[in-house]
């Protein structure tokens, strides 16, 4: 957050997985032409086996294509979704955890090489309990994050714990739980993020949650509450108070469009969602 009176407005990005069938240049053109300033990357959409196959030259090319489209990397998400297969962050299997952390280190370098400021740790299937208690899973979660924190900080990257609904994971379902985990690790590179769609287990409204946790929130995902792109539901009215709160807080980090119904196509998703974001802005004081 900014601490003085300067604020240049909201910074919008769009996640790329809705356009995964298109080449990278076309993805970036769609995002840039629709008015977004950043693209958030699901690494699995760019690889066959893992990010280690993306050479330094290719990484430079990815950055160059973003710059040519007038956008930058807003970060990574879907961190542990395959490929590669077989990753799990909170399993009691030590060898699998070690393998997962080793791949996470590669993702940190990939994010740093692209200039991304953060990595969104959602990945529900790779952090749910596997024959152990939720508390044991949280213990492994914290231990893994602690091992990665220094490397992330060295690369200028924050790892952000994403609360997810109980329907998709049983480990960290609210902002309070995410913050508790981050505080347990107690490292500046480990923080949290906010996702409108993933507030189903919260008991307070969006604006209250944002105000309460703003110090630790370093990224926001936005979409309609049913996971579709903005403009297809009631977000243009329902999210106004939350955006008013963010404006009052001078929130200066990314607000990134992440949706789960790709059927309209990337171009339509990008353009209609941006119109909805502008409509929300026009309602603000």
Q: What is the pLDDT of residues 226-271, one digit of tens each?
A: 999 999 999 999 999 999 999 999 999 999 999 999 999 999 999 9
Indicate if the pLDDT at residue 4 is higher than 90: no
Alpha helix segments (H runs only) across the chain: 24-33, 56-68, 94-114, 134-154, 175-185, 206-213, 235-238, 240-248, 266-282
197-234 pLDDT, tens digit each? 999 999 999 999 999 999 999 999 999 999 999 999 99
41-67 pLDDT, tens digit each? 999 999 999 999 999 999 999 999 999
pLDDT interval class at 5 (50, 70, 90): low
CA–CA separation, 215 and 161 (whole Å): 14
CA–CA separation, 245 and 35 (whole Å): 23
Structural tokens at position 210: 């944002």
pLDDT of residue 6: 83
The ranges assigned to domains in the chain are 11-282
Nearest CA to 82 out of 119, 118, 116, 126 is that of 126
CATH T-level topology, domain 11-282 = TIM Barrel (3.20.20)
């Amino acid at each position: 957050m900014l601490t003085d009176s300067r604020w240049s407005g909201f910074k919008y990005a769009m996640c790329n997985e809705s356009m995964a069938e298109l080449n990278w240049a076309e993805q970036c053109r769609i995002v840039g032409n629709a008015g977004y300033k950043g693209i958030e990357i699901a690494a699995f959409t760019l690889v066959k086996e893992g990010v280690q196959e993306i050479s330094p030259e290719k990484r430079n090319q990815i950055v160059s294509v973003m710059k040519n489209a007038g956008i930058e990397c807003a970060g990574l998400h879907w961190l542990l979704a395959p490929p590669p297969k077989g990753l799990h962050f909170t399993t009691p299997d030590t060898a699998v955890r070690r393998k997962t952390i080793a791949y996470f280190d590669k993702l940190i370098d990939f994010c740093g090489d692209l200039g991304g400021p953060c990595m969104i740790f959602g990945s529900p299937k790779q952090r749910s309990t596997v024959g152990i208690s939720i508390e044991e899973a949280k213990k492994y979660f914290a231990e893994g994050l602690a091992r990665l924190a220094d490397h992330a900080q060295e690369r200028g990257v924050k790892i952000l714990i994403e609360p997810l609904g109980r329907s998709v994971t049983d480990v960290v379902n609210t902002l309070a739980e995410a913050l508790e985990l981050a505080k347990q690790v107690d490292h500046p590179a480990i923080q949290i993020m906010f996702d409108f769609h993933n507030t189903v287990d919260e008991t307070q409204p969006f604006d209250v949650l944002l105000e309460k946790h703003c110090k630790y929130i370093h990224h926001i995902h936005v979409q309609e509450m049913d996971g579709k792109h903005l403009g297809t539901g009631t977000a243009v009215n329902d999210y106004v108070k939350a955006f008013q709160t963010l404006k009052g807080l001078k929130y200066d980090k990314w607000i990134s469009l992440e949706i789960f119904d790709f059927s309209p196509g990337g171009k339509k998703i990008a353009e209609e969602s941006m119109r909805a974001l502008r409509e929300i802005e026009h309602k603000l004081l």
